[in-house]
Amino acid sequence: MSNEVFLRRLLRVQNLSVSFLQAGTFHQVTHGVDFELMPGKVLGIVGESGSGKSVTSLAIMGLLPKDFARIETGSIEFQFAGRAVELVGLSKDAHRALRGKGMAMIFQEPMSALNPVMRCGEQVAEAIRLHQPDLTEKEVQDQVIALFKEVQLPRAEVLVQSYPHELSGGQRQRVMIAIALSCNPALLIADEPTTALDVTVQATILALLRSLSESRGLSVIFITHDLGVIAQMADEVLVMYQGKQMEFGKVSQVFQQPKSSYTKGLLACRPVLGQRYERLLTVKDFLEASSEEDLKLPVQAPDIRTAHLQVLYAQQPLLEVHDLKLWYPQKEVFWQKPSYVKAVDGVSFTVFPHETLGLVGESGSGKSTIGKLVAGLQEPTSGSLSYKGVVYDQMNGAIRKLFRRKVQVIFQDPFGSLNPRMTIGEALEEPIKVHGLRKSASERQKRLVELLEQVSLPASVLRKYPHEFSGGQRQRIVIARCLAMEPEFIVCDESVSALDVSVQAQVLNLLKSLQKELGLTYIFISHDLSVVKHLSDRVMVLKAGKCEELQEADALYLHPQTAYTRQLIAAIPETKFY
């Protein structure tokens, strides 16, 4: 038996360690990774950023940056044309010969992974010509069309003539898959192929990859940070954390009886749609837990929640939005009447004090635009907006300044939101000075320490610069800066989307506890329905600038009223092995 397995195995990675050049010396980034892959199977590699999952796949492909990375130890054995090839130490040209024919790869960003100035069909044809030089041009073109049909692209004959920018994100990813399949590889490495896509599109791409794996007997290495996707896609899973292999085994086994506490934490830190928890467990909780008692999830009882909601909605609304519109005129030719892109098209809602209203929708649904309009960062085309009963348009100088201070936004990208040349202390102090909230320097200093305490950061960070912090820490700093203005109302625009799941859970917990402590009101915007639902009291589903549905969060999940909401919920990959 073992002998047979040995013969059929497509890929065997043993004790693989890769190091990267950092500040002049090589630092090991993966430590002894071991796994193997059978033909026709899907292996999921899951981990957070910096866990070494992409490095491992690039090592297999031979695409590690040659000057900055080297393989320290280990072997990668790949079955090609009936014999085993050792990939570690293979010459550059020999490795290139394997790419395309033996193994192919698709990447995260379908927007940038295709050459913008080459027709889609040509990008596929190029790979076919390269590896099958005997084919006539007619045969090449026929193959391209056949591949486009195989990856279920509509109107294949038209799309081969299109340029990448004329296609949607999902279609581009299909073109990428077509390129990868063009030379009939035995192994396909998919590096976060659906992370940049909307959840409904993700579902279709996953289904496609699954069916290709079955119909072609293709082995797939699927790299992702999303356990739900792994549960749906993979036969086996490799869990990585900080360059180390935490676990490797059958998906059902790893998900039902995770051995390492990291895996347990990873499984627990995603908000689950069917439950309502007070807070989420984080990976840290699992790594530091001393007893089972620490890891009990605090579930919110239904009657407490009902009471909580009753109190909420008995109040006067804090924010009232009526028939909000933002239309961008589009002129094709100057004598034509302009048509409009309707980013927001007649949306009305109210937000009550201490409430969290979730906005959810796919890209282009107008959710972020509504956030900007509410915060006064953009002027609407029409519609009215009133805060505490005062109409936004009628706010004069001093009141508008107060409104700007009381209503704050936390954006997605914690890297771009902090000025790299300002220390954390300066960044936090600036808004306090601008709004004259603390007069003396010593009072301000005291306030800064207090703010950092609120977001669980030590006072020592004040002198440091943003680049010294991780994404999660930066997002905490951004939150602290936002709190410095003593806001009442915060618009969180995809505030946790750029963070790793475990860090995401920490920030979500922080937002929730801050709300309790300071009596904040949130509009929480995200493409991720499960995150929105976890945090929100009510959720509004948006589609193409219009409100599809506005309901209490649990009711929305249990009894969605519109087909679109049902479709959104169905598309979310669930970690169904609980």
Partner 1 sequence: MLSYLLKRLASGFLVLFGVVSVVFFLFNILPGDAAQMTLGQRSDIASLEAVTKELGLDQPMYKQYLLYLNDLSPLSLHNYTSEEQNKYGFTALVPLGSNRWLCAKAPYLRRSYQSRQTVNQIIASALPGTAILALSAMLIATFFGLLLGGIAALFAQTWVDRAAVSLSIVGISAPSYFASILIAYLFGFVWQRYTGLSMTGSLYEVDAFAGRSLALQNLILPAITLGIRPLAIIVQLSRNTFLEVLSQDYVRTARAKGLSEWQVMQRHVLRNALGPVVTAISGWFASLLAGAVFVEYIFGWKGLGKVTVDALMKFDLPVVMGAVLFIAVAFILINILVDLMYAWLDPRIRLQ
Considering only 84, 85, 90, 97, the residue that binds partner 1 (CB under 8 A) is 97
The residue (of 115 and 419) whose beta carbon lies closer to partner 1 is: 115
- The β-bridge partners of 543 are 546
Among positions 19, 30, 37, 107, the unique one binding partner 1 when judged by CB under 8 A:
107
In the complex, what is the shortest distance from the CB of residue 105 to partner 1, in angstroms, rounded to a whole number?
Answer: 5
105 lies in the binding site for partner 1 (CB under 8 A) = yes
Q: Per rule CB under 8 A, is residue 480 in the interface with partner 1?
A: no
Q: Does 220 bind partner 1 (CB under 8 A)?
A: no
Q: Please report how close the Cβ of residue 503 comes to partner 1 at its closest, in angstroms.
A: 25
Near partner 1 by CB under 8 A: residue from 28, 38, 50, 63: 63
466 near partner 1, judged by CB under 8 A: no
- Residue 169 amino acid letter: G
271: phi then psi, degrees, rounded to nearest 5: -60, 135
**Considering the rule CB under 8 A, would residue 496 count as an interface residue with partner 1?**
no
CA distance 428 to 422: 10
Stretch 326-365: interaction string toward partner 1, x if CB under 8 A: -------x--------------------------------
Nearest-angstrom CA–CA distance, 349 and 340 = 23
| Token code pair at residue 365 | 């649904």
Among 45, 113, 484, 547, binds partner 1 (CB under 8 A): 113
Task: Establish if 207 lies at the interface with partner 1 (CB under 8 A).
Answer: no
> Between residues 17 and 123, which has the closer beta carbon with respect to partner 1?
123
Residue type, 415: F
Q: Shortest Cβ distance from residue 126 to partner 1 (Å)?
A: 7
CB of 301 closer than 8 Å to CB of 526? no
Q: How far is the CB of 163 from partner 1 (least distance, A)?
A: 4
Q: Binding residues for partner 1, how many (CB under 8 A)?
A: 34
**Segment interacting with partner 1, rule: CB under 8 A, options 112-120, 413-421, 488-496, 568-576:** 112-120
Query: Which of the stretches 159-167, 304-312, 365-373, 524-532 binds partner 1 when contact is defined by CB under 8 A?
Result: 159-167
Residue 115 interacting with partner 1 (CB under 8 A): yes
Residue 172 in the binding site for partner 1 (CB under 8 A): no
Q: How far is CA 65 from the centre of its chain?
A: 25
**23 touches partner 1 (CB under 8 A):** no
- For residues 117 to 156, the per-residue mask of contacts with partner 1, x marking binding by CB under 8 A and - elsewhere, is xx----x--xx--xx-------------------------
Q: Report the alpha-carbon distance of residue 478 to residue 414 in Å, rounded.
A: 7
State the burial class of residue 182 (Cβ atoms within 10 Å of its Cβ: 0-12, 13-18, 19+). Answer: buried
Task: Give 79's strand partners.
Answer: 84
Nearest to 521 by CA among 491, 556, 484: 491
Query: Alpha-carbon torsion 245, 250, 254, 259, what sign?
Result: negative
Work out whether 474 is an interface residue with partner 1 (CB under 8 A).
Answer: no
Q: Is 473 helix (H, G, I), strand (E, B) or coil?
A: helix
For 58-61, the CB contacts below 8 A with 24+ separation are 59/16, 59/18, 59/87, 60/11, 60/13, 60/87, 60/103, 60/187, 60/189, 60/221, 61/99, 61/103, 61/105, 61/189
By CB under 8 A, name the one of 18, 29, 60, 114 that touches partner 1.
114
Nearer to partner 1, 334 or 421 (CB): 334
Closest CA to 497 of 472, 526, 474, 522: 526
Reading the block at residue 379, the tokens are 């002027």
Q: What angle do CA 423, 425, 426 make, to 5 degrees?
A: 70
- 141 CB contacts (<8 Å, ≥6 apart)? 121, 125, 160
Q: What is the CB neighbour count within 10 angstroms for residue 136? A: 8
Q: How far is the CB of 89 from partner 1 (least distance, A)?
A: 19
Q: Which stretch binds partner 1 (CB under 8 A): 110-118, 152-160, 201-209, 265-273?
A: 110-118
Binding piece for partner 1, criterion CB under 8 A, among 72-80, 96-104, 355-363, 398-406 = 96-104
Q: Return the number of the residue (209 or 482) whose C-beta is nearest partner 1.
A: 209
Can you tell me the distance from the alpha carbon of 379 to that of 374, in angstroms, rounded to the nearest whole number? 9
- 116 near partner 1, rule: CB under 8 A: yes
* Residues near partner 1 (CB under 8 A): 61, 63, 67, 96-101, 104-105, 107, 109, 112-118, 123, 126-127, 130-131, 163, 165-166, 176, 179-180, 182-183, 333
